[in-house]
Amino acid sequence: MKPFDVYKELENIEAKELKLRENRNSNNISGYDDIYNFYKSEFFNAVDKFTLPGTNTTCCNDLYDFLLGGVDGLIYNFKDIEKLSKSLEPFHASDGFLLTGLYISALVNSVARSGQKLELDFSNLNCKSFVEYMVFLGYGLDRNIEMTINGYIGGWVGDHMKNGSIIVRGNVTGNCVGYEMQGGSIELFGNSGEHLGCKMNGGRIILHQSNYHLSNEKQKGEIYLNDERIFSK
């Protein structure tokens, strides 16, 4: 291939990548079927793949990275993610369902643009025990978006988040909200679980119920009960 042809080929590749980025998260394009089918066909196999044999221990960072790479070529928008959040009832009793929060986080982080708003609705999930509620929602959030969560969810909300805001209008049934968060804010209108702010290194958590349990491993950041600051460092 001649140098000029190589240059033109690189131009074509860059143009295609630019078009893909422009299309992703366009409100005019629906990718719900793609992200639903990926979840149904790939997610649970991935959970098995990254779970240590003979244990219930999953390598969550590796699973998240795999999911992030898996959705990278899909074209979808926030409306598709919102629709997916209302379509999970058939899966809630499946092994590994609780890690669905990592999949939703990967979907969000892959297409999020600063200033966007996302509303997730899990109020129709008929979970029989707290261990069925999904964990890790808002994992690694690094864009300045507003994510509202309706319904009961598990712990580790906003784990490793760096930016944006997460608003939970329901109870947290697990623990370690804001684990190792570095920035952004989490606002909780229901129960907040135990070990709140464990290893947090920045950001802000706002509580609206007084039955909270702060972690002894907080490092930096701020925690409020309504307007009263109860931790700052």
In tens, the pLDDT along 48-89 reads: 999 988 888 899 999 999 999 999 989 999 999 999 999 999
**Domain assignment present for 12:** no
Strand partners, 58: 51
Q: What is the pLDDT of residues 4-53, one digit of tens each?
A: 554 555 555 555 444 554 555 555 556 999 999 999 999 999 999 999 88
**Domain assignment present for 10:** no
3-state secondary structure 66-111: HHHHHHCCCCCCHHHHHHHHCCCHHHCCCCCHHHHHHHHHHHHHHH
**Domain assignment present for 11:** no
Q: What is the pLDDT of residues 201-233, one digit of tens each?
A: 999 999 999 899 999 999 999 999 999 999 999
**Residue 188 CA: distances (Å) to CA of 22, 95, 102, 174, 204:** 34, 27, 20, 13, 11
Question: How many domains does one find in the chain?
Answer: 1
Q: For 143-161, what is the mean pLDDT? A: 96
Range of the domain at 45: 18-232
